[in-house]
Amino acid sequence: MALSNSQHDHFMRMYEQRQLDNENRLRSRFEEVYRRLPQMKELDDRVSALSLEKAKKLLSGDASALQSLKSELKNISLQKHQLLTSSGFAPDYLELQYTCPDCQDTGYIDNKKCHCFKKAIIDFLYTQSNLQEILEKENFDTFSLEYYSQNHIDPLTGRSSLAAMKTALSSCRHFTDSFGKEFHNLLLYGDTGVGKTFLSHCIAKELIDQSFSVIYFTASQLFDIFVKNRFEKDPDVQMDYEHIYDCDLLIIDDLGTEFTNSFTAAQLFVCLNERILRRKSTIISTNLDLDGLKNLYSERVFSRITSAYTVLRITGDDIRIQKKLMNKY
């Protein structure tokens, strides 16, 4: 999906509004300070008068007078600073505060879209659709370990479903806590309906709240884009690729349920590889076991995943867990 012109205008208006709002906030902070500290108003008036004088001297070429004006202005600025902080205000209280200091709320840095703009687009195109609603229900606050049993033993590992979920949960917590500082990828695999998607939702919610850009696709949606890109050189699909490679977190849910052929398997490799090269994190969830993954997508995909991903196996009594998870809300 690409932005239409009117959608682009919508974002530009959003930035204009943001600038206006921040200017208005600054204006009311000035009013508040002037009310509480009338000396501040006097100092500011003095600055205006001196600045005017400075401009006149500059035009007349009076260099020595200019120097003394400059030092007087510096002196006043020091007095203002002291007045402000000694009255309990933050030192930058009378400075314009940007919502995004990196682009100063213009959306662009050196003619390139700022990270805040890219995130706004991704939220708008991908996240807004239906994920937001799900994330209100499925997040770390609503997740509970009580649905995982100590008695349900995984025949493959000999671990209980409770122990496996505790490990998975702490890995997911570490993933979100260190996001942006450390580079991690996760593969969540195991039985159907035991909370793999729920866990990826928990992470998505946490990171979206921290202003990271997150794209969530089921494997079928992602593979649809691969196929479309092959047959229709649609600019919208190119745009999708840019976002898929570049978003802070890509979640691919339910890998293995989509229709796979050698072309889509190769594209999956390109996608996962590209993101590793860019050090952008990916979470994959699948009901396949590791052998199934290898058989379906080739040795190359398999070894890329196992070498660069933290592999978490989750098992459990699915019906029990699903029922309890659903009953919570």
- The Cα–Cα gap between 306 and 19 comes to 46
CB 185 within 8 A of CB 310: yes
Least spacing, CB of residue 235 vs Zn ion, in Å? 25
Q: Which is nearer to Zn ion, 102 or 242 (CB)?
A: 102
Among 21, 102, 136, 177, binds Zn ion (CB under 5 A): 102
Query: At 189, which amino acid appears?
Result: Y
CA pair distance 316, 293, nearest whole angstrom: 20
Among 100, 122, 164, 305, binds Zn ion (CB under 5 A): 100
Residue list 114-173, contact with Zn ion (CB under 5 A): 114, 116
Q: Considering beta carbons, is residue 19 or 310 the nearer one to Zn ion?
A: 19
Give the shortest CB-137-to-Zn ion separation in angstroms.
30
Quick one: DSSP state of residue 146?
Answer: G
Number of residues that bind Zn ion (CB under 5 A): 5
Nearer to Zn ion (CB atom), residue 15 or residue 175 = 15
Q: What phi, psi does 93 have (nearest 5°)?
A: -60, -30
Is residue 255 involved in binding Zn ion (CB under 5 A)?
Answer: no
Choose one: 6-14, 106-114, 179-187, 217-225; the region binding Zn ion (CB under 5 A): 106-114
Rule CB under 5 A: is residue 204 a binding residue for Zn ion? Answer: no
Q: Nearest approach, Cβ of 112 to Zn ion (angstroms)?
A: 11
DSSP annotation string for 219-241: HHHHHHHHHHHHH---HHHHHHH
Q: Are 149 and 320 in contact (CB under 8 A)?
A: yes
Tokens 């090269």 correspond to 277
CB of 102 to Zn ion, least distance (A): 5
User: How far from each other are the two terminal CA atoms of the chain, in whole angstroms?
Assistant: 33
Q: Is residue 16 a contact residue for Zn ion (CB under 5 A)? A: no
Q: Are strands 108-109 and 112-113 parallel, antiparallel or unpaired?
A: antiparallel
Binding site for Zn ion (CB under 5 A): 100, 102-103, 114, 116
